[in-house]
Structure 1
Amino acid sequence: MGKIFISAGHGGFENGVRDTGATVQGTTEAQEMIKVRDLVVPELRSRGFEVLSVPDDLSLAQSIAWINGRARTDDVALEIHSSEFGNSAARGASVYYITNNDARRTHAELLLLALLRRVPQLPNRGVKPDTAAGVGRLAFCRQVAPPSLLIELGYLTNPDDLKLLQGRRREVALGLADGLAAWSRAVSGQSPTAPGSQSDLPEVSISINGGAYDEKAIIVQNNAYVPIDLADRLGVDLTEQPNIRRIRYRNVVYIKAIDLRDFNVSVGWDSTTRTVLLRSLSKLRICPGLMDRIMGPGNTSEVQLIMFLKSNHEGALQLFPEIAKLYRDEGAIEGVDHDIAFCQMCVETGFLRFGGDIKATQNNFAGIGAVGGGSAGASFPSARIGVRAHIQHLKAYASIEPLVQELVDPRFNFVTRGVAPLVGQLSGRWAADPQYGQKILATLRRLYESASIL
């Protein structure tokens, strides 16, 4: 039986500052997760499992390195978190797994169901690929060598979830112990080959832009790895990407195929022919170098925007049935990419769930502040005017061209025109979050994948 690694999310030092995670009602995410972890570890040990607890003072990168330095065949690794959201009604548990890995999805379902059997009052938010996370990838799911998952044990910002987490901590820990035990047994039963081992690994075919590739991909821990030479062929420079996990097998360096997705390469899988499907950006409908440029035409139709929005929030169109049309119309008038603007709206409002200081009735889809710094943000008389203000604010940042329509954005004249033509340059400007632009681009990739554009 392999080892079980457990990491309590947050608590370590990131860039020299203690990362406590969410802070709610006199407690922190780090404190709550450590308390749960400290109950899970002895419970599993009492059942005969070897469990290693990741030190709490390590950064995320250090935690991953700590696990990888000790991992062997048949090990599993779990990081436990809780969530927070401006809308206190949001609640429930979910588990994230590395995208495109059916085995890991099954493991995630096993873990989540075990937790909910012990704590049935906790709503089930389902298992999710890590591409559904805010930044479009989770390092713990991607870079940890053994099979790994990340679980979110409810929302600290929801009173009911917080009460369950604190009042039924023992049951939560027992549920996690049940799930980890079942997962560890399942992985040990599969007897996967450890990353880097020279034993024979399963091989699968590779297709690039519709054509067969001469070399094969390999399967490691149910993930497809492709020769790193493919990155150059696809126009991706990985020399300055230390976070891309590499393994050496039979004197060839391989990388996880799914990691190419972060460089705008479409990554798919044909289960019938057991083939990894790769498409470079130059073969898609988006010109290379323009995907993150705010000024320009969008690529999606109104129907595609609607379907994407509904897939992430079923009731999103009840209050704003024409939201997709409005973004296409207003973006086209000012020359702003409606796909980028729409995805920014999804990030800002939680796919029109709103919450926090800004209410749906304000028609403020981009968190635009009121003149004078009012805490509630700006308000607009209609959804169309709210979308128009958003588009104008984006144009203020991304272009020096004059507006086509009458000014409705109250903060347009406070922006240094043209200072942020790229999405990533909105980070620290539009929002204080240093990953703000990355979250918009991650949502944009999901939109394009849902529309079969990427």
Structure 2
Amino acid sequence: MTLIVIDPGHGGSDPGATYKNFQEKNFNLAISRMVRDRLVSKYEVDVVLTRDRDKTLSLKQRTDLSNAIKADFFLSIHNNASGGSGFETFIFNGTVPNETVQLQTSIHNRIAKDILKKYNILDRGKKRANFHVLRETKMNALLIEVLFIDNEKDLNLLTNPAFIMDVSTVLGDATAETLKLPLKAKPIEGTLYKVIAGSFSDRENAEIHLAKLIQNGFGAFISTTVIDKKTFYRVQTGAFSEKENAEALVEKLTKAGFDSFILIEGDAPPSPPPPVPDKGYKIQGDGVLTAKQMDAYARSINPGAPDLAELYLSHSKKYNIRGDIAYAQALHETNFFRFTGDVKPEQNNFAGIGATGGGARGATFPNASTGVLAHIQHLFAYASKSPLPAFDQKVDPRFDLVTRGSATTWQALNGKWAVPGTTYGQLILSLYKKMVESALKAVEKERNILKTTIKNLEI
């Protein structure tokens, strides 16, 4: 199977280019993650990131990793600065195979066709340079500079989640098309014997183990599962309809020094959930809780929870969305803002938008306010057929993927927001009920204090 290394430029103590409060390393990582997610979800390919978090890595560490696991293609993702605007790509300025030139041409031209024209971005051309990551890698290597973070027009695009999703999707598809990656096969029906060669609570450890397996000639990928509300990253090396084939792979792994086990899944594909009648508690309407009550409930579970309730109430009011229940949904999606799943705190993605499982992290937003607004707009897409208000820019990158007005109640989100999610809406409302009960207890306590005060004042 083809192995791609994606290298998010800079990281950790090296912010890369900086402008105002923005750091290049964060844009690089967000785009790299989305490109990876696009590739592994749609194509038969193994993908390894040189870093999957804000981590300091030397240039040598990046190329050493890529060479050690014998990657087929190295893609380094950067953003530019120091005056200028636009998109450009680089390959090594020394001797390179014709294939490297063809890869650059194909990927660059696809980006130019589908992204640069659409967003009126300057094409700075296909270039060559003596960059370490291009010179020291032993495979075809390409470095891209998406935009200039110190150019206001470019920065407006980089802080637009829809653009980030768009450019990442096209870059992933362009890479797959250029490398002639096959589409993922349809899942095998019936009993499935999956060979798991490791399960980790930390994605980075799973990535390291994945690289070792690939280096030893085993095809593998990372899948995500949630057990007792905790996310685990499984390194899967195969899936078979015949148990004997799975056992044979386990034996090969054992001989190579890798522990593994067989995970058996179902004897028939699950039936789709029945359609949910559009009845129940409406998504649109007035909330009843105050920001103070909402934040207090979140902190009763997670003392480190951020103060986001005011943002939820202010944004939801503009769209006639019940902001206090939307906040309850955010608590559910983020595990009370502890972010124990695929989505991480720095993404400001409080609704799991675009996080479709299998390690897909979903959308990234430049700040908390934009993340909350995207959440409210996504609910608005489901609850209403009306156009977005003219005073707000569309920041939900998946707004146009929703069938407008297809879920006007929280219960009707079952099987839509979360799949299969046959009780998703009920879980949200159950959590909201606890929020209301908590607020009621606090009010009753205050009421009793006031009554006692009045009684003590009686003469």
Structure 2 length-normalised TM: 0.36
* Greater Cα radius of gyration, structure 1 or 2: 2
